[in-house]
Structure 1
Amino acid sequence: MMENHTPQQPVQAQESDTSAANISLHDIIRMVIDNWYWFALSVVFCLCIAYYYLASTPKVYSRTATILVKDSRKGGDVELQAFSDLAGFQSRRNVDNEVYILQSRRLMEEVVKRLNLTTNYTVRERLRTRALYTQSPIDVQFVDNNDKLSCSMEITPLEGDKIRLTRFDDEFITKQESKQVLTASYGDTIATPVGRIVVNKTLYMDDEKYLDEPIHIGKSSLAAATSAYRAAVKCDVVSKDASIVTISMNNSVPKRAEDVINTLITAYNDDAIEDKRQISIRTAEFIQARLEVIGRELGDVDRSIEDIKKDNNMIDISSEAARTVTESSRYKAEGLSLDNQINVAEFIRTYLTDSANAGMLIPVLATLDNTAVSTQIDKYNTVVLRRDKLAENSTDNSPVIQELDNVLSSLRHSILASLDSHISALEIQRKALREEEEQANRRISTMPSQEKVILGITRQQKIKEELFLYLLNKQEETQLNYAIAESNSRTIDMAYGSAAPVAPRSMIILCMALIAGLAIPFGLLFLIGMLDTTIRGRKDIEDNLSVPFLGDIPTFEGETKNGIVVRETGRDPLSEAFRILRSNMTFMNVSSGKTVQSVHFTSSDPHAGKTFVAMNLAMTLAMAGKRVVLVDLDLRRHALSSQLGQGNNKRGITGYLAGTITDINELIYNPGIHKNLDVILAGIQPPNPTEMLLSEKLDQLIAELRTRYDYIFLDSTPAMSVADAVITDRLSDLCLYIVREGVLDRRQLPDIERLYREKKLHNMSIVLNGTRTHRHGYGYGYGYGYGYGYGYGYDDKKDDSYRKRIMLFLRKMARKIRR
């Protein structure tokens, strides 16, 4: 298709994915250099934030104390082993339990009460708030104070022993009440929206220092203050092999941290000693009370035994027990006999009531102890036997048989009635026997208790004598225990610490601010670059396309007239770029060996700037003495015609193709830009632009123009949008495919490569438009970001002005720093 290429040699398209994704260290360094002002601005901003944080954040100091817990597992109570049998020294301690006690809420609540930590006094010093711990010039007493009160206010000392109270706040008052301003004197009981208070001077009052200086008073509830300080104090065991505990606390006031730790140790020791002494006191009270009681009980033991024997009518508990057991056995045997008779009677009654046994003999049981019932049963059985003998020689309808049946029925009812009476009598007897048996059993069951009581009283008589002597000994031991009671710990070091604050760490924060100031713009720029899928420079074209690269046009920042930016004697980058493009175009010869005369301009999208490139390249050739004609073949948008202000001119190529204009000279229009540069306008927008471009008249027109001009530039539509560009490509010797940096998506490059390989555009070459030497992201030394639309326009004045203002501001700051 062509023999001569530009000096650049493109790589294969299949290698584009990996090469385009590579970012070298040079690219990163170039990104930082090109955007140094953003890095400088970000570093200054982050350092200012760090300085404000350091200036407004109170300095925090650390204080630590060390105590030795007397852990019984580790020999902590060796000096008290001589008294190990005493009640106060029986419990075993371990260091882990003592750590939990040190961190208990009860102890910290006691510390808060002793140091009055619920009320805080602070003043504002520049950006920082300073706490007036133990140095407050005033003392505020809350008359209506309770452990749940939480409020705040500001008190300003005035001249003449007057004070002004403002900015009241708690969770109940209204907004109007919080804005009240009260004036009072020292020592007055002041009724405020948060309750009644009394304000007094302290020894630290300095009229010159605190006059008209607002002092903020914050009153927190006891529970809130306890929780806050409990969370701030940390207790840790130094090692598993030792019982040494470190108590540490960080606070903005080192004196307050020391007081909290030391008071916590004191409260812990007092609590341990008080606990031991309470045991001794209670033990002594118990011993004294028991001595008095035992003295009286010794005389009551004999009377107790006598009273028990009288109440139970017994002389000797052993003989009484034998007699009661004999009676219980007899009652039990008689009851079993009655149970047997009742069971026999119930069996006979059940037998008679069963219809299946009608006319059958009744069993005669010897255990049935009732003569009347036995006589009736015998009579009944005799009648049954008689009836059975008569029934062998007669029928059931025989009068004799029927009479015997009536007799049997009458006897059966008599027997049942007798059985019921007999059973009732037996049950009454059995109930009486069981009551007697139960009484006997109750007497038996109480005898062990009675014997136990007697034995217990006898035993107490012996024990109380020994106990009395024992309690006398223990009373002396308890007094000794009370005298030698001591804490569970020994203080090794009271609270101490360095005068240097532990937070905020200035160097670390400044270094972090510096790193953040460098990382934020780097991350943003890198992210913007990674998210930017547009063409970022010439390297993207060369790495992804095998199409010949003809040249690149830098972006233009400024105003233009009729879209022309090149100057005949100009040495600016744009003029030089178009001259290079003009020179490179001479190397592009057609296969027939003829020089390039008809040049077709197209692109992928309507914002590539093909009209801008066509007009300025044509102007460059015109300045070189070549006659050039620009033909607007964009019959849809009329970009070239509109650029020249002739978008509605009817004398255009559509009129010629439609037959309304026959003379070619009527089409040629000189815009007055250069005598060697003519233009053929698009004309009226037709309803069928694609069919009109297929007309043979267009071929005839181009053939005629070839005889009149050295170069014919055909400004066409985007090749990816409509088919017009491919249709008009038949009229060209060279197709300049305009790609705009920062606009064309790199994902469209395979489509351009496909156009070239399938030879849909004649003698196709690439021109990169809108390249920049300064980028806001990483890349290859070229930029992105444009403000012009379809055509030639550039509008980066705002961005340039913004950067100039930033640079001016940075220069002023640098001058001030140098001063």
Structure 2
Amino acid sequence: MSIGERLQNLAARYLPWWPLFALLLVLGIIGGWLYLRYATPLYQVKASILIKDDKSGIDESQLLESLNIFGDKKNVENEIQVILSRTLATQVATELHLYAPIMQEGNIKDASAFHNSPVIVEARYPDSLQAPEGDGKILFQYDSARSTVTLDKQPYKTGDWIRLPYGEIRFLDNPWYNHESSDRQLYFTLANPEDVGLALLNNLEVTPVSKVASVINFVYTDAVPRRGKEILNTWIAAYNNAAIRDKNQLASNTLRFVDERLRYVVNELDSVEHGLEHFRTKNKIIDLSAQGQLFLSNVSATDQKITEMNMQLAVLDKVESYVRSRESRDSAIVPATLGVTDPVLLQSLQSLYELESKRIMLSGVTGANNAIMKGLEDQIAAVKPGILENIRNQRHSLEAGIRNLDRSNSRYNSILQTVPQKERELLNISRQQAIKNNIYTFLLQKREETALSYSSTVADSRIIDQAIAGKLPVSPKRKLIWLAAIGLAFVLGIGIVEGKELFNREVSRRDEIEKSTGAPILGEIVQETTVSGSSIVIGQGRRSLAAEQFRHLRTSLGYLGINARKKRILVTSSISGEGKSFVCANLGISLALAGKKVVLIELDLRKPKLSEVFHMSRETGITQYFISEKTAENIIRPVPDQPGLSIISSGPTPPNPSELIMNGRLNELLDYLDQHFDYILIDTCPVSPVTDAYIISPLCDATLYIIRQGVTPRFYLKKMDEQLKIKPLKNMAIVFNGIKAGGGRYGYGYGYGYGYGYGYTEETKGKKVKV
């Protein structure tokens, strides 16, 4: 079958249902409009940042590189996981008070009042908030003149903390308020910040620009563009601040350590100075001798170096304890690195801390078997041995230096024995004062260096594009919704048609007949209406569609071998009501109009209908011939107003029709009719209830089997095909009758409007034809 024929079949199948498709299309358009009218539009907010990693990063703080001893390197893949962590998401939800969203009521749906509410809600303890029972709505009214908020008929000043059953909250001025007045009722709901953070993560998409670039794109989807911008900007700021806090952790611990040591050293220095002053006053010694000053100057430098080295050893011990404790997943606090001057060790410690921080943060996002997590574990395991080896080398070097300095002090102590007793005591006190002064000066210097490094720390990311919201919503997609509405209408229409066809038990289409039986379809007859309701649709000068189809059927008889010698045609069907008498009568008229002598035999002795088509009585007929009461000449009657057409009515209904047909008289009658008529059309009983048609068929030259649309049960097609294989009807062809006109739904689609396109006129408008 060609494409054109397939398209014609599809058109023939669905065009008659155009009112259904039109209705569904209108409903689909209305549904699409309602959806677009009330669906919440979603907007995309976009931003991008540059991550300076070890491959493609560019250090923005090169000017401060010499001061920032706590450098860092980033990895784009790791940073994306950090950005998508629940920790950052919860922090964003808390900072923007998204755990208490304010809404305004609408006629059909409520809308966000992110920038329509004059106030926002802040919770003192967001993690302990509890949602109210019921719908969760907490209604309130705001009085701008008094700056008060009314809850449950109780006014509260903005900024004052309010104890409520679901938590302690206060109302603050909304920094995003657009100052547009509205009479809509405002309310807020409460949620856990972690749950809100998870919802934010579902709306956020973070992707690298490419595999080789270190630029990250942020795309956040929100119903309120301004809120989306605030969320994205706050998210990026929270990420940068977290990175800075991580980098400053070592410096912060060092500052805390230095401050603690300074307080201790200041107290000791005050005590030593008070002791020195008291000793001088008591013993009336103002100053040291030249020999004492020489000793003090020599030993002070050595004491300072020993003190610094001992401090470095203590720091190395803490660092070593930190590194080893991490091997057992201990939560050891990051130690201070005061006095550690080796840049390799400092960089390694910073790298270890950063990797550990990443691991802790990622553990809340991904599982232990994640590839990125395993990569971090491998990096941590690779860094630690180098740090421990460096610490051992540093410790050996410091211990050797201390031993050398101790030997130098031993030589100076021998000089001290030559000094008088009181001056020797004064030297010891002065020596302690010098040591404390040196420690104090050293701590002050390190404090300034650490503070400067702390303040110079910058994030290892740079904002390329601030958050910007699209002007048009990305959802719902209007074109897609319209297409879906129209497509759904057609799909639903096709489904209804197919469903009806599936559950329809009667034959409705020509292709059903073609698939079920191998018998040819000789013609198709549409169901027409006539002014008088007569079953006769063909006549002299008539050019109706049905008339043309009967003329076509008349011509097609030649395909069955009907000619001057083979002229007997049997007309039957499966069940009663399929129009065999209608077809027989109109086909007979069509043959008579062609100048042929035609006789119709009403051989359906049980329910005869043929005589009624011509409004003729059937009192005299073939049953009387069978019992020899009448001769052939006596039972043949001309049909009024139909030249060339005669009829043999059924006569009185006999009690034994089949036996009468088999008594041999029928064959004699047919032989007689062969000599006097050009065509013999026999209207017999349907094949399903009785066997009359099978008895008569061997006496005929061809059989027209009538199938009527919407009447013939489908299972009769299969039954007919099986029966014909066992006991076939002679030279059988099918006539598809009773087709609803107006689109060719059930035929090939060659055009039931064919007659009207060539000047034919419709003469049969009125009552339906009884077939």
TM-score interval, smaller chain:
0.5 to 0.7
Instruction: Verify the 8 A CA contact 1:651 1:666 in the aligned structure 2.
Output: no
Q: Pick the aligned partner of 1:247 from 174, 197, 218.
A: 218
CA drift of 1:78 comes to: 3.8
Q: Residues 469-522 of structure 1: CA distance to partner in whole angstroms, max 9, x if unpaired?
A: 897465554333333233333333321233233333333443454555566657
1:65-105 Cα offsets, whole Å, 9 max, x none, are 23233434534364454246x4x44x543233322222211
CA change 1:463–1:133 in 2 (3 A) is: farther
Q: Is 1:82 the equivalent of 2:54?
A: no
For 2:520 and 2:737, how far apart are their aligned partners in 1?
A: 16
Aligned with residue 85 of structure 2, among 77, 101, 104 = 104
Whether contact under 8 Å (1:605, 1:720) holds in the other structure is yes
**TM-aligned CA deviation for residue 135 of structure 1:** 1.9
Which residue is 1:444 aligned to? none
C-alpha distance in structure 2 between counterparts of 1:603 and 1:224, whole Å = 73
Identify which of 445, 449, 467 aligns with 1:495.
467
Shift of 1:209: 5.7
**Within the alignment, does 1:716 sit opposite 2:687 as a pair?**
no
Q: 1:561 to 1:184 in 2, by over 3 A?
A: same
Take 1:589 and 1:505, find their aligned partners in 2: how far apart are those partners?
65
1:64, distance to aligned residue in structure 2 (A): 2.0
CA distances 1:292-315 after superposition (whole Å, capped 9, x unpaired): 59999x9xx9xxxxxxxxxxxxxx
1:152–1:210 distance in 2 versus 1, CA, 3 Å? farther
Q: One-letter code of the match for 1:257?
A: G
1:680 to 633, 650, 656: 650
Q: Report the counterpart of residue 581 of structure 2 in structure 1.
A: 611
Q: Measure how far apart 1:133 and its partner are.
A: 0.6
Which of 18, 40, 54 is equivalent to 2:36?
A: 54
Return 572-581 or 619-628, whichever deviates more: 619-628
1:153 maps to 137
Secondary structure at the aligned position of 1:600 is classed as strand
Aligned CA RMSD, in angstroms, stands at 6.2
1:774 aligns with 2:743: yes
Q: Which residue of 2 aligns with 1:119?
A: 100
Instruction: Work out the CA distance in 2 between the residues paired with 1:496 and 1:204.
Output: 16
In 1, are the aligned partners of 2:603 and 2:684 still within 8 Å (CA)?
yes
Q: 1:726 aligns with which of 694, 715, 722?
A: 694
1:116 Cα offset (Å): 0.9
Q: State how far apart, in whole Å, the 2-side matches of 1:510 and 1:215 are.
A: 34
CA offset digits 1:558-605 (Å, max 9, x no partner):
7986855557775533345446656776998867x4584x54212466
**SS of residue paired to 2:609:** helix
In 1, distance between residues paired with 2:511 and 2:216?
70
- In structure 2, relative to structure 1, the CA distance for the partners of 1:666 and 1:479 (3 Å cut) is same
**1:112, CA displacement in angstroms?**
0.9
CA distance in 1, matches of 2:631, 2:119: 103
Give the 3-state SS of the residue equivalent to 1:262 in structure 2: helix
Q: 2:245 aligns with which of 242, 265, 274?
A: 274
Aligned to 1:264: 235
Cross-structure match for 2:355: none
TM-fit CA distance, 1:260: 0.6
CA contact (8 A) 2:32 2:482 kept: yes
| Distance change >3 Å, CA 619–CA 153, structure 1 → 2 | farther
Measured against aligned partners, the alpha-carbon deviations of 1:613-642 in whole angstroms (never above 9, x if no partner) come to: 12444566799999987555446x636389
Which amino acid is 2:609 matched to?
A: L
Residues 746 and 506 (structure 1), Cα distance of their counterparts in 2 relative to 1, 3 Å cut? same
Q: 1:515 to 1:129 in 2, by over 3 A?
A: same
- AA in 2 matched with 1:131: S
Task: Indicate whether 1:481 and 2:453 are aligned.
Answer: yes
- Return the letter of the residue paired with 2:528: F
Change (3 A) 1:556 1:589: same
Instruction: Give the whole-Å Cα distance in 2 for the aligned partners of 1:131 and 1:680.
Output: 85
Q: 1:570 to 1:156 in 2, by over 3 A?
A: farther
| Counterpart contact for 1:148–1:222, Cα < 8 Å | no
Alignment of 1:441-452 (within 5 A): none
| Shift in CA distance, 463/575, structure 1 to aligned 2, threshold 3 Å | farther
> Which residue in the other structure is 1:136 paired with?
117
1:248 to 1:725, Cα distance in 2 relative to 1, 3 A: same
Deviation (angstroms), 1:242: 3.8
Query: Partners of 1:488 and 1:160 in 2: how far apart?
Result: 44
Counterpart contact for 1:60–1:253, Cα < 8 Å: yes
Distance of 2:162 and 2:696 partners within structure 1: 96
Question: Matches of 1:643 and 1:140 in 2, distance apart?
Answer: 90
Which has the larger displacement, 217-226 or 536-545? Answer: 536-545
Equivalent residue pairs, number? 577
The equivalences for 1:447-462 within 5 A come to: 462=403
TM-score by length of 1: 0.54
Write the distance in 1 (CA, Å) between the matches of 2:94 and 2:162.
24
Superposed CA deviations along residues 355-387 of structure 1, whole A, max 9, x for unmatched, are xxxxxxxxxxxxxxxxxxxxxxxxxxxxxxxxx
Please say if 1:63 is aligned against 2:61: no
In 2, the alpha carbon distance for the partners of 1:255 and 1:567 equals 80
Task: Kindly state the Cα deviation for residue 117 of structure 1 after the two structures are TM-superposed.
Answer: 0.8
- The 2-side partners of 1:209 and 1:476 are apart by 54
Query: Paired residue for 1:600?
Result: 570
SS of equivalent to 1:119: coil
8 Å Cα contact 1:628/1:710 also seen in 2: yes
CA–CA separation in structure 1 for the residues paired with 2:141 and 2:730: 92
Contact 2:575 2:689 in 1 (8 A): yes
Q: Which runs of 5+ in 1 are unaligned?
A: 1-18, 166-181, 302-454, 784-795, 799-819
Structure 1 residues 134, 464: closer, same or farther in 2, change over 3 A?
A: farther
For 2:454, give the aligned amino acid: Y
- Residues 599 and 732 in structure 1, CA contact (< 8 A), matched pair in contact too: yes
Deviations 1:12-38 (A, max 9, x none): xxxxxxx59984455556667766655
**CA apart distance, 1:644:** 8.5
**What is the rounded CA distance, in whole Å, between the counterparts of 1:70 and 1:116 in structure 2?**
31
Verify the 8 A CA contact 2:130 2:190 in the aligned structure 1.
Answer: no
Q: Classify the secondary structure of the residue corresponding to 1:487.
A: coil
Measure how far apart 1:693 and its partner are: 3.1
Identity value in percent:
26
2:507·2:708 contact (CA, 8 Å) conserved in 1?
no
Show the counterpart of 1:394: none
How far apart are 1:256 and its partner, in Å? 0.3
Give the distance between the partners of 1:487 and 1:159, measured in 2 at CA: 43
The range that moved more, 140-149 or 605-614, is 140-149
CA distance in 2, matches of 1:650, 1:219: 94
Q: Does the 8 Å CA contact 1:153/1:217 hold for their aligned counterparts?
A: yes
> Counterpart of 1:106 in structure 2: which amino acid?
T
Please tell me whether the aligned partners of residues 597 and 677 of structure 2 are also in contact (alpha carbons under 8 angstroms). yes
| Mean CA deviation greater in 525-534 or 721-730 | 525-534
Distance 1:477 1:556, change over 3 A: same
Amino acid in structure 2 at the alignment position of 1:725: A
Do the aligned residues in 1 keep the contact of 2:579 with 2:708 (CA within 8 Å)?
Answer: yes
Q: Distance in 2 between matches of 1:81 and 1:144?
A: 41
> TM-score, normalized by length of structure 2?
0.57
Structure 1 position 230, deviation (Å):
1.9
Q: Deviations over 1:231-285 (max 9, x none)?
A: 2122222344443333221212111011111112222233333344443232233
Q: Deviations over 1:789-813 (max 9, x none)?
A: xxxxxxx999xxxxxxxxxxxxxxx
**By how many angstroms is 1:228 displaced?**
0.7
**Structure 2: 5+ residue stretches without partners:** 270-302, 307-395, 410-434, 753-765
Q: Which amino acid is the alignment partner of residue 554 of structure 1? A: V
Quick one: structure 1 residues 642 and 154, their matched pair in 2 at CA, closer, same or farther if it must change by over 3 Å? farther
Amino acid in structure 2 at the alignment position of 1:267: A
* Structure 1 residue identity aligned to 2:231: V
User: Out of 174, 192, 200, which is 1:221 matched to?
Assistant: 192
**Counterpart contact for 1:71–1:93, Cα < 8 Å:** yes
